[in-house]
């Protein structure tokens, strides 16, 4: 390692659900024209919201603020049945951008409520995702957050319970809560792990950053649950860590006696904000940039067919969701004369080509859908073998490597 260097986490930034949600708003604007109303922030990132506002998106807190009959996009965090009913009553033309992994939790809540179980939802009270799931069965769902909450539950230990979790939580912390529930309740079932693959992968990568660097910076907005959890994970693993919404929030005092800075980004943070932070650090002497060896995600979720191009029948890639700008040769000039190395990095998407030999190391990463297509809830799909649902195209590339979430087809031989 050089004397003052930066290590970029892999993976970092946009997940498949975020790309899908942003792309839905962009395509809705293309198809319907402005204004397109969006209930709540489409994803929890200030930059993305600002950019979409410039293009004609209007963000509202409540569906009642949307003019009767107008186009209304539901955010990636999902909504309750009550919101859907209210939107129908106003005859809104609804486009649902709920992440398929969040939709899965909604479906599980409905099923367990129907079975007569008390549902213990591990999550943050008041978060939009939790509010949406809670609305599926408000009389049967209890929201808990900590092990202390488990001890305080006023339920007999033999109560039939089911455990669901918010998708953006800290994996390790949630496991402790679930284990406390298992120790207490004799009739407990859980459908498995609801924390999404992207949250787990980014948290695992951050553990590596915390181990190898003096300081960890997480790019993300203050209302981004998964970004906040990444900061907590870094601190729990011994590193000084801070949330940085953009480079203007970097405090020079943090860099005192620091020789290496690890950088990651929450699942709703675009790579352009990482680029800005790297450039600012280069101005301060951190001009050597390395790429962490980690998992290259290949999960994509299908876009609504109603947003397809009428001529091609495909949903085209959109600029804000796609953010792809690959550089041939695998080496990018870094800010301040440094360089990004590590095997084919896209500065916008952060996608990484496998190292020579086609092997990329994993930090315990999760990549659902690898090797095939899994039907996803809510009409989405997890793809991992040459299908890009973002672009609507099927890549017949030899090697069987699926395109990046930005919709880029792999080159022959399976190397992106």
Spell out a b/e string for 23-53, using b for 16 or more CB atoms within 10 Å of the CB, else e: bbbbbbbeeeeeebbbbbbbbbbbbbbebbe
Is residue 129 annotated as part of the catalytic site, yes or no? Answer: yes
Question: Within 10 A of 180 (CB to CB), how many other CB atoms are there?
Answer: 17
Structure token digits, residue 55: 């293009």
Strands (E), 10-97: 36-39, 57-60, 71-74, 93-96
Q: What angle do CA 133, 380, 219 make, to 5 degrees?
A: 70
Q: How do 373-375 and 381-383 pair as beta strands?
A: antiparallel
- Quick one: how many helices (H) and strands (E) in the chain? 11, 19
Residues 182 and 199: their CA atoms lie apart, in Å, by 23
Place of tokens 């120790």: 183
Token digits of residue 404: 């990046």
| CA-CA-CA-CA dihedral for 348, 350, 356, 357, to nearest 10 | -120
Strands (E), 18-146: 36-39, 57-60, 71-74, 93-96, 118-122, 141-144
Choose the catalytic residue: 51, 129, 136, 393: 129
Could you give the 3-state DSSP secondary structure of residue 378?
A: helix
| Nearest Cα to Cα of residue 137 among 217, 67, 193, 81 | 81
- Catalytic residue set: 129
């Amino acid at each position: 390692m050089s004397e003052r260097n930066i290590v970029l986490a892999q993976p970092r930034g946009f997940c498949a659900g975020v790309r899908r949600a942003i792309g839905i708003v962009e395509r809705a604007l293309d198809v319907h024209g402005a204004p397109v109303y969006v209930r709540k922030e489409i994803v929890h990132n200030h930059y993305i919201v600002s950019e979409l506002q410039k293009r004609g998106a209007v963000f509202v807190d409540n569906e009642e603020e949307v003019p009767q009959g107008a186009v209304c996009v539901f955010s990636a965090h999902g909504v309750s049945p009550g919101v859907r009913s209210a939107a129908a009553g106003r005859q809104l033309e609804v486009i649902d951008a709920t992440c398929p992994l969040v939709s899965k939790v909604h479906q599980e809540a409905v099923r367990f409520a129907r079975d007569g179980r008390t549902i213990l939802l591990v999550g943050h009270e008041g978060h939009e995702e939790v509010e949406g799931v809670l609305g599926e069965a408000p009389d049967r769902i209890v929201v808990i957050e900590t092990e202390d909450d488990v001890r305080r539950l006023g339920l007999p230990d033999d109560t039939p319970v089911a455990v669901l979790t918010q998708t953006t939580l800290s994996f390790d912390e949630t496991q402790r809560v679930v284990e406390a529930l298992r120790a207490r309740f004799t009739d407990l079932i859980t459908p498995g792990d609801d924390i999404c693959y992207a949250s787990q992968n980014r948290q695992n990568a951050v553990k590596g950053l915390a181990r190898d660097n003096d300081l960890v910076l997480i790019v993300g907005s203050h209302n981004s649950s998964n970004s906040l959890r990444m900061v907590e994970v870094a601190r729990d693993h011994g590193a000084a860590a801070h949330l940085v919404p953009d480079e203007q929030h970097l405090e020079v005092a943090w860099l005192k006696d620091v020789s290496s800075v690890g950088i990651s980004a929450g699942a709703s943070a675009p790579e352009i904000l990482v680029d800005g932070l790297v450039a600012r650090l280069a101005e301060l002497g951190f001009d050597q940039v390395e790429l962490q060896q980690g998992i290259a995600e290949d999960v994509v979720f299908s876009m609504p067919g109603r947003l397809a191009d009428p001529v091609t029948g495909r949903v085209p890639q959109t600029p804000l969701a796609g953010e792809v700008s690959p550089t041939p040769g695998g080496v990018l000039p870094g800010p301040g004369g440094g360089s990004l190395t590590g095997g084919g990095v896209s500065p916008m998407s952060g996608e990484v080509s496998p190292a020579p030999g086609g092997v990329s190391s994993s930090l315990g990463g999760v990549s659902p859908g690898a090797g095939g297509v899994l039907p996803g809830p809510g009409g989405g799909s997890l793809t991992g073998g040459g299908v890009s649902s973002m672009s609507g195209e099927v890549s017949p590339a030899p090697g069987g490597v699926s395109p990046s979430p930005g919709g880029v087809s792999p080159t022959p031989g399976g190397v992106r």
